[in-house]
Amino acid sequence: MTIRLILIFVAFLPTLAAIAQTKDEETPYVKMMGVADSAIAKGDWVNAEKYLRDAMHMEPANPANLLLLSNLGMVQFYQGKDSIAVETLTDACNIAPRAVPVLANRANVLEALGRYDEALADCNSILEIDSTNVRARAMRINFLVRSGNYPEAQTDLDSLIRIAPENPLTNIIAGNIYTATGRYAEAITPLSKAIDADPQAEYFAARALCRIMTGNLNDASTDIAEGLRINPMEGELYLYRAMLNKMRYRNDDAKADAKRAMQLGISQQRALPFTK
């Protein structure tokens, strides 16, 4: 499995706080930005879009509009306006092609839309500007693993370990690569560090798989139970519990878990062996 890079980035760029530090500086333009910030914080995407547009119309030549335009693209994306969001973020990138946060926002959206080649291009652009950017390198490694290019992925991982050995993303990516290349015992340590830093259901699922593959079934069962406690809708956990039940000759339980895994989006190809 490839662990999704979740809950790592704040998608929105700073607006009001970065531009006006005191109330004396709050022009109508800045006040409108503050209203937009409040709407974003509440997840009120429709009004956030309106207020961002209103602010930009107030001062069309203000350089801070680059930040607002990038945030507008994210607001549109969260409303499901995928193609419009990409257009907006591309406009922002065209205005400032070396603005790393703007490129990162577009890479995030492109990745979410499954447009991996384009997202990879943005990651490459970011790394040309800032070779120490952890998120861009982590995303690129995920793309390389997905395409089966493990040697280049390992080279990038080696760089990531040098740049940010304690960063949670480094541990997540290391776990991904070691698991994808069958180095299950090696993957357990970085996955455990990722869990300690941010206990997510999918991290428990990844470690459970590694423990199953190394014969540590009791700890795998514990990981699956803890992951399901955090998120009972994580399909990978049901798949691995089906695998575990099959190994323990609990065929009926394995079938039930495999069917639940498919209901939660696991492919039939992966789950079918545990339904027999």
Residue 26 falls in which region: left (phi positive, over 0), alpha (psi -120 to 50) or beta:
beta
d(CA 76, CA 217): 45
Q: What is the pLDDT of residue 34?
A: 87
With a cut of 70, list the residues of the chain below it in pLDDT.
Answer: 1-25
Which tens digit of pLDDT belongs to each residue from 172-195? 999 999 999 999 999 999 999 999
Q: What is the pLDDT of residue 10?
A: 44
Where does CATH 1.25.40.10 sit in the chain?
15-96, 98-187, 198-276
Q: Which of 112, 139, 145 is nearest to 1 (CA)?
A: 145
Kindly report whether the global pTM for this prediction surpasses the value 0.85: no
Q: Under CATH, which number does the domain 198-276 receive?
A: 1.25.40.10
DSSP codes of every residue in 59-105: -TT-TTHHHHHHHHHHHHHHTT-HHHHHHHHHHHHHH-TT-HHHHHH
Q: Is 253 exposed, middle or buried (0-12, 13-18, 19+ CB in 10 A)?
A: middle
Q: What is the pLDDT of residue 12?
A: 61
Helix (H) or strand (E) holding 144: helix 134-146
C-beta atoms surrounding 48 within 10 Å: 26
The per-residue b/e assignment along 81-92, b for 16 or more CB within 10 angstroms, e otherwise, is: beeebbebbeeb
Give me the CATH topology for the region 98-187.
1.25.40
d(CA 69, CA 75): 10
d(CA 28, CA 32): 6
Q: Under CATH, which number does the domain 15-96 receive?
A: 1.25.40.10
Q: What is the pLDDT of residue 130?
A: 95
Which tens digit of pLDDT belongs to each residue from 196-247? 999 999 999 999 999 999 999 999 999 999 999 999 999 999 999 999 999 9
